[in-house]
Amino acid sequence: MTVLVTGGAGYIGSHAVQRLLRDGERVVALDNEFRGHAKAMQLLSQAHPGKLTYVKADINDRTKVLATMDDHGVHTVMHFAALAYVGESVSQPLNYYHNNVSGLISVLAACDAARVPVQKFVFSSSCATYGQPPANMIPVPETCPQSPVSPYGWTKLHGEHILRDFAAARANAGNPIALTMLRYFNVAGSDHTGLIGEDHTPETHMIPVVLQAALGLRSEVGIFGTDYPTPDGTCIRDYVHVEDLIDAHVLAMAKVKPGTPAAYNVGIGKGYSVREIIDATRKVTDRQFKIVEQPRRPGDPPMLYNDSRKISSELGWKAKFTDLHEIIGTAWRWFQKHPQGYRS
Ligand code: UDP
C-alpha cells in the first residue's frame, strides 16, 4: 500500500513525507515545484533510500495523477497541494480556484478512475473557512459557522463541500471512502532533526518573518495593528507545530472509518499575540531587531484559537509542542543553518 502526498515538496507536505517514511510507509510525492522544493525530495530520498518516489507534475494533469496512482497502487491520498496566501488569493482569485478547487476535482476523479479506487483521503482545510468567528465561538469548535472572508478560505470551504458529496456518492455506490478534513490553524516550526524546513518565497508568515529579521535578512518587522480588542492590542493566533499537525494526518489515516466524513480543527488550543511572538523570538535567538507598528492588515480577525476537544477525544491527538519557545526554537535551528532556505 502506498500513500500519495500531493504538494509533497512544500513546507507541510514534505514534513508529511518525512513522517510517513519514518513510519515505514511507501510514499509517492507529487509536486509541480511552483512553490515546492525538489531539494527537499532529494534530501528525504537520500535519508530513506528506495522508499520515496517523486513525481514532478501538476494536480490538474489528471492523466499524470491517475498514472501515478496506478503505477504505485495508491491506497491513501494526503492532499496538500494548494496555493495558500490569503492576500494573493484576493488579487488572483481565479488562480486560487483553479489550483485549489479544480485541482482537487482532478485528484478526486483520478481517485475514482484508478484501477483500485483510492480508499482514504486526508484534505488540508483551514481555519480560514470560519472567517471571523463570533466572540462566543472562541476558542473555535468545529461547529462554528463557516463563513470565509477571503477567496482562499472559500476555495477550502468549496473543497470541503465537494469532498462531502464525493464521499456520499462513493458510499451510495457501495465503495465508501474514509475522508478526513483537517482545518489547520497557524502552522509553524520545522522538523526536529533539522533536515527539512520552511522555505517560502515570498515569506509573509509571522514566525519566519521575525526569524529573518533576527538573522539580519530584514531590516524590521511590522506589527500589523496594535489597536485590536486583545490584551496587548495585537492579533492572537494558535501556532501548531508542523510535526504535531502531521501527527493529526497520521491518526486520521489510521482511525477515520469509511463512509463517515470527519472534520477536525488542528491547533494547540492556546493563542499567542504578535507581541508575544516577537518577545519569544528575541529570547530564543538572543538577537535584537527593529519593530515598526503599522496599520491593520485587511482581513485579519483579532483572535483565533482552537477548541481542540473534538480531535483529542475522537482521534486521541495531543500537541507535543505546546511551548512557544520550543516551536520557534525548531524553526530557528533551520533558519540559522539555511538562511536562504534550500538554496543555502
Ligand atoms: N503579522 C504581523 N507582521 C508580519 C506578519 C504577520 O503582524 O510581518 C501578524 C498578522 O497580522 C497576523 C499574525 O501575525 O495577526 C499571523 O499572521 P500570518 O501571516 O503568519 O498567518 P495568518 O494568521 O494570516 O494565517
Same domain, 120 and 79: yes
Residue nearest atom 6 in ligand 1 by C-alpha distance:
206
Q: Could you list the residue range(s) of the whole structural domain that residue 320 is in?
A: 206-237+270-343
Ligand 1 centroid from CA 236, angstroms: 9
Ligand 1 mean position to 272 CA, how many Å? Answer: 11
User: Is 204's C-beta closer than 6 angstroms to any atom of ligand 1?
Assistant: yes
194 falls within a domain: no
Pairing of strands 2-6, 26-31: parallel
Work out the number of other CB atoms within 10 angstroms of the CB of residue 42. Answer: 14
- The count of domains in the chain is 2
Shared-domain flag, residues 169 and 24: yes
Ligand 1 center–CA 48 separation, angstroms: 35
Residue 199 within any structural domain of the chain? no
pLDDT recorded at residue 300: 84
Are residue 219 and residue 160 in the same domain, yes or no? no
Q: What digits encode the pLDDT tens for the residues 266-290?
A: 999 999 999 999 999 999 999 999 9
pTM for the complete prediction? Answer: 0.97
Measured from the CA of 205, which atom of ligand 1 is nearest?
20
CA atoms of 17 and 96, how far apart (whole Å): 24
Provide the 10 A C-beta neighbour count for residue 291: 16
Residue 269 backbone dihedrals phi, psi, to 5 degrees: 90, 15
Identify the segments of the chain with pLDDT beneath 50: none
pLDDT of residue 1: 83
Looking at the annotation, which residues are catalytic? Answer: 152
DSSP code of residue 217: S
Query: Are the beta carbons of 184 and 319 closer than 8 angstroms?
Result: no
Looking at the chain, list the stretches that DSSP marks H as alpha helix, in order from N- to C-terminal side. 11-22, 38-47, 62-72, 86-91, 93-96, 103-113, 151-172, 206-214, 242-255, 274-285, 309-315, 324-337
- Is the domain of 162 the same as that of 245? yes
Query: How confident is the model at residue 180, as a pLDDT?
Result: 98
